[in-house]
Amino acid sequence: MFVSAQSVDVRSGQHRSHLPPPPKSGRLLGSSLDATTVPSTRGGAGDSGATIPNEVFNLVKNIVGAGVLSLPAGVAAFGNAPSALIPATVLIAVIGAMSGYCFSLIGRVCEMTGATTYRSCWDKTVGASSSWLPASACTFKTSAANIAYSMILADTFKALAATAGYEISRANTLFGITGTVLLPLCLMKNLASLAPFSLLGIAGMGFTTFAMFVRYIGGSYSVPAGKFVGDLAPSLVPSFGNAGAAAALTPPAAILLCMLSTAYLAHYNAPKYYAELRNNTIPRFNKMVASSFAIAISFFAAVTSLGFLTFGASSNGFILNNYSTKDQLATISRIAVAVSIVFSYPLTFVGIREGIMDLAKVPMEKRNGLSNPLSLAILAAVTGAALTIKDLSFILSFGGATLGNAIVFLFPVIMFNSAVKKFGKKDLQKEATASKGIFVTGVLMSVIGAKQALKAL
């Protein structure tokens, strides 16, 4: 999920994507959802289920989201010269490959156990007594996604107001959009009508990438004569130095690493994609996963490169903030991103609310009465966090270092090793042992990344 809208049904342990999957699936979302249903079709050996191209399209939508617009700041955290993109691109590819492998591990666990959700994978391998661990991680990672959404909306609508000639503070912008738009949407009982708007996410990101390419090639932000340079605040003016590829060996590079953990986060949906794939053999599933993550890697590398090559060390945590409010292409991009997030917001929000009630073991008969008061409390907390935290890259890097790493790298390896041991898969023992290297890497990334994210605050 890179802030792509993902919500989680903690009862099933499954996140749902904001972009609609194959018609027979009953679930929505891209870091989003119809938060009440689970896949109704199974792949198997028959003709039902989704084709590999359909699955690839939906998984790419699930992975790619507005959070990718923070990646240039991840490079700027350790470098300020164009050559810093060399190790950054390598990291994007390596973390993407590791994430794809761990996504595949979950599918293989499903094949061994018959599990159909992320949480049931844990139940059938590690044990139900500790299933609150992945459930909690998914719930609170979704909370971080909504905080990031609120931050993006505050920055985006503030910039759009400036384009229209109105100067509104970030706080007032967020209060306005929260009270007039987000609150009514979050109190909706039926979110099915929001499904069509999820397509705006991938379309908006495609246009934004195109706009970034045009502005980079055209030199509109080149110092000192770029067309829009004079419109920018000093902190946003492109700035380059001598910290290049070698700077990737310094501790701040861990910030980009942990942001990438969040970028590829779609693993709570792995059981759904395995279940829905037509003729869901492991080789076919792996082919689908490899294709999807390869596309996502290419997309992330392109956006990161275009943003960093344009603004360098001044790359903002939300790269669209770097672009002039008088830049029409940037304005269209802001509108596309804002509309997509507004309609994705309640889809992820439901996951937080239901997840909290599940973790608190609230009886089903009492949930209706608690729904609205809890929604108000959650929205107030999310809004407060978005007002306090100004740097989107912090939310993504700290969330990636902690919850993201657990969901993407740690939990899949634990489940795979437990499944291999439990079901006596001796032919997979060497691979299971080797996969522990990813677990160790994930732990190191968590510790170093969280420390660096807090240090950069």
3-state secondary structure 290-327: HHHHHHHHHHHHHHHHHHHHHHECCCCCCHHHHCCCCC
Residue 13 has pLDDT above 50, yes or no: no
Averaged pLDDT for residues 73-87: 97
The domain 6-455 is placed in CATH, from the list 1.10.8, 1.25.40, 1.20.1740, 1.25.10, at 1.20.1740
pLDDT at 109 (0 to 100): 97
Q: How many CB atoms lie within 10 A of CB 199?
A: 15
**Between these two residues, 59 and 10, which has the higher pLDDT value?**
59
pLDDT digits (tens, 9 = 90+) for 28-71: 233 332 233 333 334 554 567 889 999 998 899 889 888 899 99
pLDDT at 44 (0 to 100): 52
pLDDT at 453 (0 to 100): 81
pLDDT at 199 (0 to 100): 73
Quote the strand ranges of 273-335, DSSP E. Answer: none
CA–CA distance, 323 with 303 (Å, rounded to integer): 14
pLDDT at 29 (0 to 100): 30
pLDDT at 46 (0 to 100): 53
pLDDT at 298 (0 to 100): 96
User: On the CB side of 139, how many CA atoms lie within 13 Å of its CA?
Assistant: 22
Q: How confident is the model at residue 197 (pLDDT cuts 50, 70, 90)?
A: confident
Give the Å distances, CA to CA, from 218 to 81, 190, 329, 385: 20, 45, 12, 38
Residue extents of the structural domains in the chain: 6-455
Q: How many CB atoms lie within 10 A of CB 189?
A: 6
Buried b (16+ CB within 10 A) or exposed e, 363-394: eeeeeeebbeebbeebbeebbebbbebebbbb
Among residues 449, 396, 425, the alpha carbon closest in space to that of 105 is found at: 425
pLDDT digits (tens, 9 = 90+) for 150-168: 999 999 999 999 999 999 9
**Between these two residues, 67 and 425, which has the higher pLDDT value?**
425
pLDDT digits (tens, 9 = 90+) for 231-279: 999 999 999 999 999 999 999 998 998 889 888 999 989 999 999 999 9
CA–CA distance, 272 with 294 (Å, rounded to integer): 20
Averaged pLDDT for residues 373-381: 96
CA–CA distance, 92 with 85 (Å, rounded to integer): 10
**Between these two residues, 453 and 216, which has the higher pLDDT value?**
216
Contact yes or no for 377/347 (Cβ under 8 A) = no
- pTM, 2 dp: 0.84
pLDDT at 7 (0 to 100): 38
pLDDT at 454 (0 to 100): 85
**Between these two residues, 454 and 10, which has the higher pLDDT value?**
454
pLDDT at 305 (0 to 100): 98
pLDDT at 320 (0 to 100): 96
Which of the residue ranges 82-91, 142-151, 213-222 would you say has the lowest mean pLDDT? 142-151
**Between these two residues, 42 and 174, which has the higher pLDDT value?**
174
pLDDT digits (tens, 9 = 90+) for 220-230: 999 999 999 99
CA–CA distance, 29 with 96 (Å, rounded to integer): 21
Percent of the chain exceeding pLDDT 90 equals 66
DSSP secondary structure letter of residue 93 = H
Structure-block tokens of residue 243: 């910290």
Write the DSSP string, 184-222: HHHT-S--GGGGGGGHHHHHHHHHHHHHHHHHHHHTTT-
Q: How confident is the model at residue 183 (pLDDT cuts 50, 70, 90)?
A: very high
Among residues 134, 141, 139, the alpha carbon closest in space to that of 119 is found at: 134
Contact yes or no for 104/112 (Cβ under 8 A) = no
Q: How many CB atoms lie within 10 A of CB 64?
A: 30
